[in-house]
Amino acid sequence: MSHQDETTTETPESSPISRSLLLLMTIAVAATAANLYYNQPLLADMAASLGVSQGTIGMIPSATQFGYAVAILLISPLGDTMDRRLLIRNLSITLAVASLGVFLAPSLWPLLVASFVVGLGANITQQLIPLAASLSTPQRRGKVIGTLMTGLTIGILLSRTLSGSIAEYWGWRSVFLVAAILAIVIGVSLYRQLPSRAPAVQMAYPRLIASMFTLLKRHALLRESALTGALWFAAFNAMWATLALHVTDTPFDYSVQQAGLFGIIGLAGIIGAKASGRLVNRVGAGPLISLALTMVVAAFAVLGLWGDSLTGLIIGIILLDLGVFAAQIPNQVRVFSIDPKAQSRMNAVYMLCYYTGAGLGSAVGVKMMSLFGWQGMAVFGLTLGALALGHHLLRQRRPAAPSHKA
């Protein structure tokens, strides 16, 4: 890949995205992201149905998430070398077939394989976000990405409620039959409505994958965005991975169902995403991220000091969700602005770091909780948030290269 491929100028193909197409893409992002979480409320029913232990059935959501991570690394970059419309069509077929595979799975191992492939097919989300960025003018990019991230948040939040409600009446398998039908409907709609566009670059697949590491090495802004994103998302997942453990114990002693209701408070993230998307072009990505990360640090301070009260928990969770989603939009906007010809690969690098942070944050957060209690988790989260803020502020004080406008 020549150095010219790494230009930061906008492509002449950038054009305003219509409201109807943006709405369709937002619905598709929500419906696709939901596939990663449908199985979580159903694990007990799956275990009983297949005659396996609840510990063993825990491999099912892990298989789906692992499939998603593999897709980010190996499939997401293809958006730069293929017509994304055709790639999304193929992923929709994959998702529909995999969902039918879960619906029909006679035993654990076929279920594991099908669940892994569901994660691969859910890569539709990671194709739609860079596609929307490429279809947007620079002035509207923040608002467009904010809208898609709102869809992503809604999909994540409502997926568990939807799957639990369907399973309550028709059994856990019916959830995945509905998911397959949704994948077909969404796939056909996207194929009919998305524009067909020539690939940004021509590159052999092995070189395409290797080029992601070249991009990470070449662009300081990509490294900074990926690291800060990984840090704050690790903190975010540390809190959510331990919250149920905290509120089902003293002094709360809530039921599991009551613990699940805290997810509704996460809707605050939608407000952060929408507001951040509207402000990013007016205020600038750097100042918005600084403000958002300050909110993340404040959130863990509140959770650590007053996390044994319901009011303290609610305030802390609202601050955390507002901060994380308000930081996410400007961070992705500046990543997409680095090189329009490499948006899929840029997004793949960023999201791979992001979800690696999520996995590590969840694991370490649970460990800190077991060793030092809720306050230990809060200190861990506060430390990660402070590191993200400090690294971001240090980078902001350094003169940026002209091609790395934040």
> What is the C-alpha to C-alpha distance for residues 33 and 177, in angstroms, rounded to an integer?
16
Query: If you compute the radius of gyration of the chain from its CA atoms, what whole number of angstroms results?
Result: 21
Q: How many CA atoms lie within 13 A of 307 on its CB side?
A: 27
- Looking at residue 259, its pLDDT comes to 66
Taking each continuous run of H as one helix and of E as one strand, the counts in the chain are 16, 0
Please check the confidence at residue 1 and state whether its pLDDT lies above 70.
no
| In a shared domain, residues 187 and 221 | no
| In a shared domain, residues 193 and 225 | no
pLDDT category at 16 given cuts 50, 70, 90 is low
> What is the C-alpha to C-alpha distance for residues 28 and 24, in angstroms, rounded to an integer?
6
Q: Which token pair is 397? A: 């004080």
Q: Which token pair is 223? A: 């490294």
| In a shared domain, residues 113 and 190 | yes
Closest among 332, 91, 71, 83 to 200, alpha carbons compared = 83
| 179-183, 267-271, 379-383, 390-394: the lowest-pLDDT one | 267-271
Per-residue pLDDT of 111-165, as tens digits, reads 999 999 999 999 999 899 888 888 888 778 878 888 888 888 888 777 877 887 8
> What is the C-alpha to C-alpha distance for residues 20 and 346, in angstroms, rounded to an integer?
27
Per-residue pLDDT of 191-211, as tens digits, reads 999 988 777 678 888 888 888
Q: Which residues contact 161 (CB under 8 A, 6 or more apart)?
A: none
CATH number of the domain that 276 lies in?
1.20.1250.20
> What is the C-alpha to C-alpha distance for residues 325 and 235, in angstroms, rounded to an integer?
13
Name the domain boundary from 156, 171, 202: 202
| In a shared domain, residues 120 and 224 | no
* Tally of structural domains, the chain: 2
Decide if 281 is inside a domain.
yes
Closest among 337, 338, 332, 339 to 125, alpha carbons compared = 332
Q: Which residues contact 106 (CB under 8 A, 6 or more apart)?
A: none
- Looking at residue 268, its pLDDT comes to 75
Closest among 44, 175, 47 to 108, alpha carbons compared = 47
Decide if 10 is inside a domain.
no
- Mean pLDDT calculated for residue range 331-359: 85
Decide if 208 is inside a domain.
no
Q: Residue 141 belongs to what domain range?
A: 15-202
Closest among 57, 70, 71 to 109, alpha carbons compared = 57
